[in-house]
Structure 1
Amino acid sequence: MPDLLSLESLENDRKFVEHQREKASKDRWGTTKMMWDQRLSEINERIEQIKTKPASRASVALIFDGLPVIGQGDIRLDFSTEALASYQRIVSAAMASQNAEAVAAKGKLKGEQKSKLYIRDIVRGSMGFILEELTAPQTDMFNTPLKIAVEQSTQLISNLSVASNDQFSATLEATSPRLVGALQKFTKVLRDAGATTKIVGDEHRVALGIEDISRLSERFSDVEVTEEEVFIDGVLLGILPDSHEFELQLPDNQGTIKGAVTDDLTSKYVTDQQFKERLLLKPVKAMIKYTRTFRKETLIKQQLSLENLEPLVENPLLGRF
């Protein structure tokens, strides 16, 4: 269970126990008070454990209310399936964005399998799901990348929900287009279904009422993420395997462009020496994917990704390089 949800439950238990303990003080023999004292000590110890040794693996509760929820135990299957799937896409995109590498707006994400969450339990007294990372054979000393992604996602949703119009645009500018698209989808699922939600993790939490969701949905309706593949001639100055970055010199003294490189291309560049020798510091034709985020038709973010390369067969009469 997420730490914040556990603490909330334990705090409620503590209030109840303290009240019962106060009533038990009138017990002539003191046995009832002793029982409540012991229970209070156990609760305080558990609270202290959570605060001093927070969980290192991802755990988050998604609690839903609104039109898709009937009472405290029934929820529409089509809504819950779509809502959980769209939330998973947010977390996967957030995890893929951790290394400051360009993330494709569509298609398979790097390390996607490692970003999977699993339904561990339901939230008692509400209609919600507890999602957790699979437990490893040994306990991690530091937060896992998936936990970091989950907490960053919750914080990002919280920031966007209270942001001013300018802050909203600034946040999108600092966010990968893939993650923007996932947030856009999640908000639309909630809005279309007339649902509200609370997201509670180990460190961050956010509550989205109907007004918050309506405002977010309206703002995201002005956002568009596009992809365009462009073929560019140039001289490959290099590919850095560790950072997955490339640099390409453009013809006619137009300068250079830099950006990310796909995993497959990086792998071939590193392992195939002949491939590297045919391209490095030589004229090439590069297939570059431009991923752009627009808001109200204004470009607010652009990222480049080198998808493929081949030697350029030059016309000797042009002498461009």
Structure 2
Amino acid sequence: MLKKLKLNAVAADLAAVRALLNSRSIEEDPIGVYQFEQRKEELERQLQEINETNEAHASLAIFFGGGPVQGSRGINADFAGGALEDVQELIKKCLATRELGALAERGRVPLRGNAQLLVTDVARGSFGFVLEEAGGEMPLIDTVLKDVVDEVAELISNIASSDEPDFQSATESLDGRILLSLRQFFRRLDESEATVRVVEKDRDFLLDRGAVNRARTRTEAIEIDERGEEFEGTLFLLPDSKRFELHTQWGGESTTLVGPVSRDVLRQLAGEPELGEAPIDPRDVPRTAWSVRIKVREIRERGRAPRTAYTLVKLLRPSRKAH
């Protein structure tokens, strides 16, 4: 089961046992107090063990409520199958975009098999499903798919957020085919009058009917054109806030490009072993001009002026001494 769901379940049991202990005294019920003390110690031990567990595989829990759900008894099969397929498509496209850059406008999504999740449990309450990455032994470090699932959960949350900056941040990371999958997912939820709760890693959020409708309206109002371009200039990186600033020449004029930094760039800075590259100190980067690859997105939304968003996707090479 997903680590956060385990934590929630054990924490709820522990709170109930503590409440029972507080309602008893050793004079009135010595055996009951002794038993509940033993149970409390056992739950506290379980809580510590779960907290110390490294969950390196991708895992995600999705709970549905509203129209398609009949209490804890069941869920409309067509809706459940379609919604899970929408989420799986999002994960596949985000993985392919991360590994290969921009996707073609049409055609089969590459690396589909690498993004496959298994339904490993059915979660009650509302009605939900636990999805986990296939694989045997738990790796020592987070898998790429775990990072991608984290991105997808964050994306779903931010697209539906009532906080405008969160939504604007989400649009900076969208491409056309990911937008299509988001549009399909939120349209399915909205037309079925469904709600959705997503639990992943430390994230746990509920999208009620208003949030679902807001997300559908937004995704249907957006059109995105994107391309990858190579730039050269003086680069400043802020890894903690995952932002960059590039002073460069574009169209014969000096300009400054700012935006988010992709996780791949953060991996380059950290010098993760599978990349076969030495770590890069962000403080040294501005001392030398760099050639970089930037994803340029032209974003058009109904009722708003078009805007351009930039994402730093790769550090290519140092080019020359900066002046």
Output the TM-score relative to the length of structure 2.
0.67
Q: CA separation in 2, counterparts of 1:170 and 1:128?
A: 28
Shift in Å, 1:298? 4.0
2:157 equivalent in structure 1: 158
Query: Which residues in structure 2 correspond to 1:197-276 (within 5 Å)?
Result: 197-224=196-223
1:273 equivalent in structure 2: none
Q: CA separation in 2, counterparts of 1:107 and 1:38?
A: 59
Return closer, same or farther for 1:28/1:129 CA change in 2, 3 Å cut-off. same
1:38 equivalent in structure 2: 38
In structure 1, what residue type is equivalent to 2:148?
Answer: A
Query: Which residues in structure 2 correspond to 1:84-99 (within 5 Å)?
Result: 84-99=84-99
1:65 equivalent in structure 2: 65
Q: CA separation in 2, counterparts of 1:35 and 1:164?
A: 48
In structure 2, what residue type is equivalent to 1:224?
Answer: E
1:82 equivalent in structure 2: 82
1:260 equivalent in structure 2: none
Contact in 2 for aligned 1:59/1:130 (Cα 8 Å): yes
Shift in Å, 1:202? 2.0
Return closer, same or farther for 1:201/1:166 CA change in 2, 3 Å cut-off. closer
1:238 equivalent in structure 2: none
Contact in 2 for aligned 1:119/1:130 (Cα 8 Å): yes
Q: CA separation in 1, counterparts of 2:70 and 2:146?
A: 31
2:256 equivalent in structure 1: none
Shift in Å, 1:165? 4.8
- Equivalent pairs counted in the alignment come to 241
Larger-gyration structure (1/2): 1
Contact in 2 for aligned 1:154/1:205 (Cα 8 Å): no
Contact in 2 for aligned 1:294/1:301 (Cα 8 Å): no
Contact in 1 for aligned 2:68/2:79 (Cα 8 Å): yes
Contact in 1 for aligned 2:61/2:198 (Cα 8 Å): yes
Return closer, same or farther for 1:29/1:301 CA change in 2, 3 Å cut-off. closer
Q: CA separation in 2, counterparts of 1:59 and 1:179?
A: 20
In structure 1, what residue type is equivalent to 2:122?
Answer: I
In structure 1, what residue type is equivalent to 2:125?
Answer: G
2:171 equivalent in structure 1: 172
Shift in Å, 1:185? 1.3
Return closer, same or farther for 1:104/1:51 CA change in 2, 3 Å cut-off. farther
Q: CA separation in 2, counterparts of 1:94 and 1:226?
A: 17
Per-residue CA deviations over 1:22-43 (Å, capped at 9, x if unaligned) read: 3453366833323222221221
1:22 equivalent in structure 2: 22
2:286 equivalent in structure 1: none
Q: CA separation in 1, counterparts of 2:115 and 2:213?
A: 28
Return closer, same or farther for 1:111/1:100 CA change in 2, 3 Å cut-off. closer
Q: CA separation in 2, counterparts of 1:294 and 1:301?
A: 11
Q: CA separation in 2, counterparts of 1:214 and 1:225?
A: 20
Are 1:295 and 2:294 matched, yes or no? no
Return closer, same or farther for 1:157/1:45 CA change in 2, 3 Å cut-off. same
Contact in 1 for aligned 2:196/2:208 (Cα 8 Å): yes
Q: CA separation in 2, counterparts of 1:47 and 1:100?
A: 40
Query: Which residues in structure 2 correspond to 1:178-193 (within 5 Å)?
Result: 178-193=177-192
Q: CA separation in 2, counterparts of 1:125 and 1:20?
A: 23
- What RMSD over aligned residues (CA atoms) do the two structures have, in Å? 2.8
Contact in 2 for aligned 1:181/1:225 (Cα 8 Å): no
Shift in Å, 1:221? 1.3
Shift in Å, 1:210? 0.5
Q: CA separation in 1, counterparts of 2:224 and 2:45?
A: 49
Deviation beyond 6 Å, 4+ runs, structure 1 = none
Q: CA separation in 1, counterparts of 2:157 and 2:51?
A: 22
Contact in 2 for aligned 1:154/1:206 (Cα 8 Å): no
Return closer, same or farther for 1:205/1:106 CA change in 2, 3 Å cut-off. farther
Contact in 2 for aligned 1:157/1:206 (Cα 8 Å): no
Q: CA separation in 1, counterparts of 2:170 and 2:60?
A: 23
Q: CA separation in 1, counterparts of 2:186 and 2:42?
A: 40
Contact in 1 for aligned 2:172/2:297 (Cα 8 Å): no
SS in 1 for 2:179: helix
Structure with the bigger RCO (C-alpha within 8 Å, sep 6+) is 1
Unaligned 5+ runs, structure 2:
228-295, 312-323
Contact in 1 for aligned 2:92/2:115 (Cα 8 Å): yes
Q: 158-167 vs 93-102, which deviates more?
A: 158-167
Shift in Å, 1:124? 2.5
2:146 equivalent in structure 1: 147
Output the TM-score relative to the length of structure 1.
0.67
